[in-house]
Structure 1
């Protein structure tokens, strides 16, 4: 069966392609930019197992790109000659062979504000040059190889990063050193069955952190001896039975570490409310 190639109407702004086993995109050459679709703003591709690559330069007006359950996707390319793209939201979910984000993304994707890497086990590192400085929200879910190289994330330079959510790993201690920028305001850690300690060295520079959520970390028994950042105003802890037991009493050692926090919730029960 020949690869299926779609011709997208120039007026089309939103496109969803699903369950197409022969889908492939032809790379539009630099000297044929008139063939690019400049109107397309949202593109969602699901369950297209034949797709090995998506050339972003074909869609210079694209703002939202979601790729879901494309098991043979390996790369997202930005071919030479492309100056900047308008992509603002990018989701890659359940694409196990996907290994690397575009190497030119720092310079080309200067509008990218939201990045969701969800269960892409093949990703071992971010692209050379790191992530765009425009990034404000980052989700990283279920990438063991990437979790072992936390220093290589390069998040410290992302001065606009406000929210980071990290889920589904076997990490035992987190975060290693100061991997987050001081601009981070919200941090969510979830579903880490082997996490037993929070590393204060990785939290001490988070002078803007307002909200910390920790859920489903059953081995976590205590908070850092030095406590949590003084900037915290809200703490949510759910499904962390050992730690929750030590936080129930306001006289306990663990409670003393969080007594400065205005809002505290344990297993969805408001222990200390906001004024």
Structure 2
């Protein structure tokens, strides 16, 4: 499911609104910045989450400010377009199933956790000038893209 660039849509979805079999969500650039979202009560089926900041309007500076949004079921997480985000050193600890992490278009991110999660198979950084661009374990990254597409196709057929 994708919910992107909807400036009239508030992000406060009441509990239980998410489809119970939701496995992939790409969301951001809504009326309310992500830093002001409360708990979203994502279903346990959610394994792929991409959060898009609204460039300079989102005030998130530390990754731990968003960690309440991340269900422990996540295997893939993308953090994209957070210009004010500086630190990723905290906020990942409870994501014990996380296998793939992408950080992109975050102009001010200047650190990564000293020790990454043991479950992490791939780490990708894109257009983060204070971090080296990297794609660690490319084979697993491509597997994730294929898996994500299958998940989205299955989800679409279940919603019809």
Q: TM-score with structure 1 length normalisation?
A: 0.44
1:203 aligns to 2:88 (yes or no): no
1:213 aligns to 2:102 (yes or no): yes
1:117 aligns to 2:6 (yes or no): no
Structure 1 residue ranges, 4+ long, deviating more than 4 angstroms after superposition: 270-275
Root-mean-square deviation (Å): 2.4
Query: How many residues are paired up?
Result: 134
Q: Distance in 1 between matches of 2:127 and 2:107?
A: 7
Highest CA radius of gyration, 1 or 2? 1
Per-residue deviation, 1:164 = 0.5
Partner of 1:51: none
Kindly provide the CA deviation profile for residues 44-97 of structure 1, in whole angstroms up to 9, marking residues without a partner as x: xxxxxxxxxxxxxxxxxxxxxxxxxxxxxxxxxxxxxxxxxxxxxxxxxxxxxx
1:147-166 mapped onto 2 (5 Å cutoff) = 147-155=34-42, 158-166=43-51
Partner of 1:222: 111
Higher relative contact order (CA 8 A, sep 6+): 2
Q: Is the 8 A contact 1:166 1:190 kept in 2?
A: yes
Partner of 2:156: none
Partner of 2:131: 243
Q: Distance in 2 between matches of 1:121 and 1:193?
A: 18
Which blocks of at least 5 consecutive residues in structure 1 are unaligned?
A: 1-114, 245-265
Q: Is the 8 A contact 1:118 1:141 kept in 2?
A: yes
Q: Is the 8 A contact 1:166 1:189 kept in 2?
A: yes
Which blocks of at least 5 consecutive residues in structure 2 are unaligned?
A: 141-160
